[in-house]
């Protein structure tokens, strides 16, 4: 009477390999809670979370996902203790030191969205190097949101468009969804810019300033696992949940 089961448990259904979401975005939450539950420092959770990034990247690539966007560091994360921020800034370096050959072997191309120029110089260097080293890869795009904020992205896009109007390259009347989409940090992804599926781990059900424009029509799947406990099977379960839902894009029916 009060709640009807509106979707089958993902485990009761089968994963349809012909309907894998093209673009999956993940808010990798719960590293600190994972560590706390084990009486470990928060940074141990981040370290383990990085290993999960590697496993999930390969799992997504194997499933035929075209873009995997991972929220690694938000513009708000600078408010954390400086010791934790310093550790987090080392993670892209550790990640690429150990993982670039695997990325190349799996034909995965690295992309980054966010204000990279505000990161420590060695972090910027390794990120730019990884982008360059994988520029020839034609498989999945692994898109890290690093020093990224959704409102910041919208402000930057708005400024860029305002400047185009100012120089006469564009008229105000010609500003439409397509112009906005291309001015966003995902503009280069073309029709893959908008995630089909957003996953957030660790039980929180908020957007936390992530891809505000691009998530307008996405399916949201929230899972209780902390990010370090997430794995390829969890990814498949989330995709199965996604496949069990109707997507209507605001229209009436789209079966």
Both tokens assigned to 179:
């112009």
Q: Is the dihedral of CA 178, 183, 184, 187 positive or negative?
A: positive
| Binding of ligand V07 by 148 (CB under 6 A) | no
Task: Name the catalytic one among 16, 18, 77, 133.
Answer: 77
Distance in angstroms (rounded) separating the CA atoms of residues 96 and 58: 14
The first and second tokens of residue 99, run together, are 């993982």
Determine the interface stretch with ligand V07 among 44-52, 154-162, 169-177, 202-210 (rule: CB under 6 A): 44-52
Contact status, residue 142 vs residue 57, Cβ threshold 8 Å: yes
Q: Which of 30, 119, 31 is nearest to 78 (CA)?
A: 119
Site string for ligand V07, 196-235 (x = CB under 6 A): -------------------------------x--------
29 assigned to active site: yes
128 is catalytic: no
Closest approach, Cβ 127 to ligand V07, in A, equals 4
List the interface residues with ligand V07, window 64-103 (CB under 6 A): 72-73, 88, 91-92, 95
Please report whether residue 50 would count as binding ligand V07 according to CB under 6 A: yes
Quote the strand ranges of the chain, DSSP E.
23-27, 67-74, 109-113, 141-148, 197-200, 219-222
137: which residues sit within 8 A by CB, 6+ positions away?
103, 104, 107, 108, 109
Q: Which residue in 18, 29, 86, 107 is the catalytic one? A: 29
Q: How far is the CB of 51 from ligand V07 (least distance, A)?
A: 8
Closest residue to ligand V07, based on beta-carbon distance: 49
Residues labelled as active-site residues = 29, 77
Q: What is the binding site for ligand V07 (CB under 6 A)?
A: 28, 31, 46, 49-50, 53, 72-73, 88, 91-92, 95, 112, 127, 130, 144, 146, 227
């Amino acid at each position: 009477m009060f709640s009807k089961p509106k979707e089958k448990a993902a485990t009761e259904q089968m994963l349809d390999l012909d309907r894998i979401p093209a673009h999956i975005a993940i808010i990798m939450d719960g590293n600190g809670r994972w560590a706390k539950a084990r009486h470990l420092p928060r940074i141990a959770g981040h370290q383990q979370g990085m290993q999960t990034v590697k496993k999930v990247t390969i799992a997504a690539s194997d499933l035929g996902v075209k873009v995997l966007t991972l929220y690694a560091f938000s513009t708000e994360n600078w408010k954390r203790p400086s010791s934790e921020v310093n550790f987090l800034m080392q993670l892209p370096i550790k990640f690429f030191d150990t993982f670039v050959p695997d990325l190349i072997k799996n034909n995965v191309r690295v992309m980054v969205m966010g204000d990279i120029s505000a990161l420590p110089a060695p972090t910027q260097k390794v990120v730019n190097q990884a982008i360059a080293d994988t520029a020839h890869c034609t498989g999945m795009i692994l898109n890290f949101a690093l020093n990224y904020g959704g409102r910041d992205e919208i402000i930057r896009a708005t400024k860029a468009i305002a400047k185009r109007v100012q120089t006469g390259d564009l008229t105000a009347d010609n500003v439409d969804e397509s112009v906005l989409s291309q001015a966003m940090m995902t503009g280069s992804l073309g029709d893959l810019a908008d995630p089909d599926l957003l996953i957030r781990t660790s039980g929180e059900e908020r957007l936390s300033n992530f891809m505000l424009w691009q998530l307008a029509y996405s399916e949201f799947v929230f899972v209780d696992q902390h990010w370090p406990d997430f794995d390829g099977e969890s990814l498949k379960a989330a995709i199965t949940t996604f496949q069990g839902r109707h997507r209507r894009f605001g229209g009436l029916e789209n079966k």
